[in-house]
Homo-oligomer: A and B are copies of this chain.
């Protein structure tokens, strides 16, 4: 069955297509009786306006795009759930596009007519992309970096502050040799969390021992291997605590410690980031910094819509988290 267009409706209802258009768009230019007739016909024929035709004319789509390099893990789904809901509440449809391809990214930014773009592409989105956004004045909000201009904003988790707080918490427990399992250094949160940790160590006059800073890449297995090989080098002194770049990394770390015969938290405390759903089922239950992902998503939508509707302009919004003390940390007292 051929696609039914506004013409079909017009013919069937015996009016001009402009009248159908007006009737469908609730214009008050059309007689109530005529409108009723038209709506009845439209309903009967399953008429749905062709979005391409419409957008070509109106230049507004009420569609937002979420460009992301991945949706694996609870982190992303939490994000997407809250953002999708908030978009709907504000009258927009969210299109989620998983890609790492420059051309696909370009097409979505320039060719699809989205009203605005959320960007969570990490290393897959670089300077050239920002130039493109700026040059063509595309409203955008970053979720994984801090950048702002008149039409571009960011909503980020204040990883630096929370990294600082996590370290301070361990220091106050009496820990002194605190190691850090850094995430990816080309990711905003990776850099910031580490910086927060360094801030705290410096504030308390504690030396940062380079051999206590391992590369964990936000990955469970990678961290497991890194910690295991670290532990094998028996000549090095042991840290009495680890801050991991995220919860997955913390899990890898704990498993490596256990497998090497250490007890968590009796021998070593471990703190993670994010509070993924499993965190509280692990044994020991994971002490972690809760990431207000849903709130971040909602704030991002509000900001982007604000920019689109010219009610606001781009800025960097930084959200605090919350340290959840569970079982993987905290045993050590000052006297150990």
Chain A interface (Cβ < 8 Å from any Cβ of B):
1, 3, 46, 48-53, 55-56, 70-74, 76-77, 80-81, 84, 88, 93-99, 101, 104, 106-107, 110-113, 132, 135-137, 277-278, 281-283
Interface of A is mostly: mixed
A137 to B3, CA, bound (A): 9
Give the residues in chain B near A277, CB-CB below 8 Å: 278
Give the residues in chain B near A101, CB-CB below 8 Å: 88
Q: Smallest distance from the beta carbon of A168 to chain B beta carbons, Å?
A: 30
Q: Smallest distance from the beta carbon of A254 to chain B beta carbons, Å?
A: 11
The chain B residue with its CB closest to the CB of A276 is B278
Whether B95 pairs with A136 at a CB distance below 8 angstroms is no
Question: Looking at the complex, which one of B56, B74, B95, B96 makes contact with A53 (CB distance below 8 Å)?
Answer: B56
Whether A52 pairs with B55 at a CB distance below 8 angstroms is yes
A48-B106, A93-B97, A110-B46 known; A81+B77 contact, CB < 8 A? no
A50 to B114, CA, bound (A): 11
Name 16 A/B residue pairs within 8 A (Cβ), A-sorted: A3-B136, A51-B52, A51-B107, A51-B111, A51-B112, A52-B53, A52-B55, A52-B56, A52-B112, A71-B80, A72-B77, A73-B77, A77-B77, A95-B96, A96-B96, A281-B281
Q: Smallest distance from the beta carbon of A253 to chain B beta carbons, Å?
A: 15
Give the residues in chain B near A98, CB-CB below 8 Å: 80-81, 84, 94, 96
The chain B residue with its CB closest to the CB of A104 is B93
Q: Smallest distance from the beta carbon of A61 to chain B beta carbons, Å?
A: 9
Whether A50 pairs with B97 at a CB distance below 8 angstroms is no
A282 to B281, CA, bound (A): 7
A277 to B278, CA, bound (A): 10
Whether B56 pairs with A136 at a CB distance below 8 angstroms is no
Give the residues in chain B near A137, CB-CB below 8 Å: 1
The chain B residue with its CB closest to the CB of A96 is B96
Whether A136 pairs with B1 at a CB distance below 8 angstroms is yes
Whether A110 pairs with B48 at a CB distance below 8 angstroms is yes
A76-B77, A96-B95 known; A111+B71 contact, CB < 8 A? no
